[in-house]
Chain A
C-alpha cells in the first residue's frame, strides 16, 4: 500500500516536472542545499522529522550566509545582534538567526525613495530599471521592476499600507514550484481537467495572490479566471477596505454579480460531465459566492471529482470569522464536494512557501525546509502548544531575507493530532495580532477595549 502510494506520488512528480519544464528544475549537479530541500524529496509532506531537521540546517545556513554576505542592511542588523553564519552549527542554533519584522516590507517610501528602499532590502544586485513615466503610479514602478526580470508583488494592504516583496526569478520559481509540489500528495493538479480561480489572473495584477498561481495555467484544459480584468494596486487597496461611497459600493456589487455569473456558468458547464474540476478561491469571497448560488437555488453534485483550494484568511470584510467546519459543510451542501476535498492553504507574501491542511484533520502542514517559530511578547521562541507571534526561516528566498516575524497569531503543535504525516503543524486557529499603535495611553487602551468587546460577541 505504502509502496503503491510512493509510486503514485513519483508518477505525479514526474508529470509535474515534465509539464513545467526545465526552467523550474535545474540540473541536479547544480543544486544548492536550499534547492536540494525543494527538489530532492519525492513527497514533501512525508519527510521524516530528523531528515527534515538536517535539511533545514543545511538549507537555512546556506541562505543565511548568502543574505549575510550580500545584503548590507541585513548584515548590519546581524552585526548589531552579534550573529554570523559561523554561529549556526546545530539545528538549535537556527534560533539565533535574526528575524526581520514583516513591517519592514510595509514601510516602503513612495516616489524616488522607493528605489533606494528596494535596493536596501534586496539581496544581491538589482537589474537596471527604467521608469518611463515622469509621474509614475505605484503599478508603473512595480511594472518597471517586473519588466527588468523581477517578480515584485504587493499585498492588498488591508492595514493601510501594502506589503511589497521583491523576488528574483529564481525565488519566484521556487515559490511556484514548491506550491505545486506541496499539492501533489493531496490532490494532483496535473490530473485535473479544469480549474476556476476566484483570484486575479496572474497577468492582470501585481498582487501576490495572482502571481503565485503562475504555473497552474499549464495544467488545465480550461483554466478560467473569474477576475479576468486589470486590478491595479489602488483598486486592490480600495477593495480591501470598506467604503461608504455609494457609487463605489454599487460598482463593487455589480462587479461581484459578474464574477458570480461567470462562476455559476462555469460550474454548470461541467456539472453533467465526468471531468474533474478544481476551484481556487479566498474563503470570504467563496462564502459569498455560495450565498449567491443558494439564493438562485443552484445546487451541484460534483462529488469526488470536485476539489476546492482556499487561501487568503478566514475573515469576512466586516471582520467576522468564517468557521472552517461550517464552511466546508456548506461547500458539500451546495456543490457536493466532500469535506476531504476542501483544503486550505496558509501562506503570506513575505514567505516563499505554503502550508496546506491535511484532509483528515485540517491542520496546516509546512514543507520540510521551513523552520517555524512561535514567539512570546518579548519575541522569544516559546515552543509547542502555546499561542504567539508566528515567525519562520524560509531558505527558499534568495532575493531578500526570508527570516520573518509576522503579525499572525498561531499555535504550533509537535505533530498533527489526526493524520500520520510527520513534523509540526499549525493549529487551524490563526488570527491577526493587533498592532500596538503605540502613540499614547488612550490609543492603546482603546484598541484593547475594542478587541475585547469584539471578541466577547
Chain B
C-alpha cells in the first residue's frame, strides 16, 4: 500500500496552517470535550427529534465476472491505495457497467463523474472500502471521491485526490460579538481541521478536475450552480480559505480516518443531525429544480446568479 502526499499547487500562497491556528483548533476540541452540555447534545438525540433514515441505493449492483477487463498497472495514480482499490470485483464490475474500455478516457471519466455525482448521497461515516461505498450509495466527500478515483483507475485512467480548506459562510466565520463563543469555536475547529475533497483524472497528459461530492439537489437547495466534469468547485460553489491549503495526493491519509472515527465516536448525534440535514436539503433541492423547469433550466439560472455573487 502506498501513501503519497504531496503539495503541488502553484500560484497559491504558503500552504501550511499557522501554528497559532492549529493551537486554536486543539484548544477548541479541548473546550468542547470539557463542556458537558455541548458534549451531551452532540452525543444524544432528543426524544422528539426526527431520526435519520439512510436513503435507498439508487442503482443496481452489477455482477462481477471473471475476466472483466481492468487495469493492473502499479504505476503511480493507477495502483491501489488506502480505501481506494480499483481491483475490487465490484469496482471492476461497475467500471465495466459504465463502459470502461468502450468509451474514450474522457467520456468514461465523465460518465463515472455523473454516476457518482447524481447517484450518491452524502452521509457522515468513517472511511471504508470502495465496494462498501458502492453497496451503500452514500458517504462523505472522501468516500465519493474514492469511488470516482477507483472507477477511473480500474479503467486505466490515472486519478488522484485534491483537498483544500474552504471559506466557511459568514454566519459561521464572523467573529462579531453576536456570534459569540459558539461561532468562534466553530471557526477555529472547522476552518483548519476539515478539508473539502475533489478528484482529478489525467487525460491525454492533462489533469481534469471533478467535484463529485455534492449532488445536484443539494447544490440547488442553496441555489448554487451544478458543477460539471472539468469544473473546479473552487470559485464556483466554494471559496478557497485565505492562505488555505490545496493538496493533491495519490492516497487518503490515515489521519482523516482517525478524525472521522473520533467524531463518529464522540458526536454521533451531531453526525445524525448532519445526515438529516442532507435528507431535508435533498428534498428541498428537488423541489427547486422542478420549479425551475428541470436541471438545465435550473443550472442556467443558478449560474447567472452565481456570476453576480461569488
Contact = CB atoms under 8 A, between A and B. Distances in A.
Contact of A436 (B140, B182, B222, B270): B222
A77 B292 CA distance: 8
Contacts of B271: 445
A452 B223 contact: no
Interface string B84-99: 0000000000000000
B215 to A, nearest CB: 9
Contact of B213 (A433, A441, A447): A441
Interface string B276-310: 11111101110110110100000000001100100
B216 to A, nearest CB: 11
A444 B196 CA distance: 11
Interface in A362-406: 376-379, 386-389, 405
Nearest to B181: A453
Given A377-B50, A439-B238, A448 B273 contact: yes
A446 B168 contact: yes
Contact of B182 (A107, A438, A453): A453
B113 to A, nearest CB: 17
Contact of A440 (B141, B170, B178): B141
A318 B177 contact: yes
B288 A377 contact: no
B128 interface: no
By size class, the interface of chain B is 35 or more
A439 B214 contact: yes
B166 A439 contact: yes
Interface residues of A, number: 55
Interface stretch (B32-40, B58-66, B154-162): B32-40
Nearest to B48: A387
Interface in A228-249: 242-244
B178 A242 contact: yes
Contacts of A443: 166, 168-169, 172, 190
Nearest to B141: A441
Interface in B3-48: 32, 35, 37-42, 48
B237 interface: yes
B288 A101 contact: yes
A80 interface: yes
A14 interface: no
Interface of A: 73, 76-77, 80-81, 99-101, 103-104, 107, 109-110, 113, 160, 242-244, 317-319, 376-379, 386-389, 405, 433-457
Contacts of B202: none
B180 interface: yes
Nearest to B214: A438
B194 A446 contact: yes
Nearest to B286: A379
Contacts of B50: 376-377, 386-388
A441 B121 CA distance: 12
A443 to B, nearest CB: 6
Contacts of A109: 304-305, 308
A379 B178 contact: no
B291 A73 contact: yes
Contacts of B224: 438-439
A441 B223 contact: no
B208 interface: no
A444 B274 contact: yes
Contacts of A448: 270, 273-274, 277
B199 interface: no
Contacts of B222: 435-439
B166 A442 contact: yes
Contacts of A77: 290-291
9 contacts: A386-B50, A438-B285, A440-B233, A440-B238, A441-B124, A441-B194, A442-B168, A451-B273, A452-B273
A440 B166 contact: yes
Contacts of A80: 290-291, 293
B186 interface: yes
Contact of A378 (B195, B214, B279): B279
Nearest to B280: A377
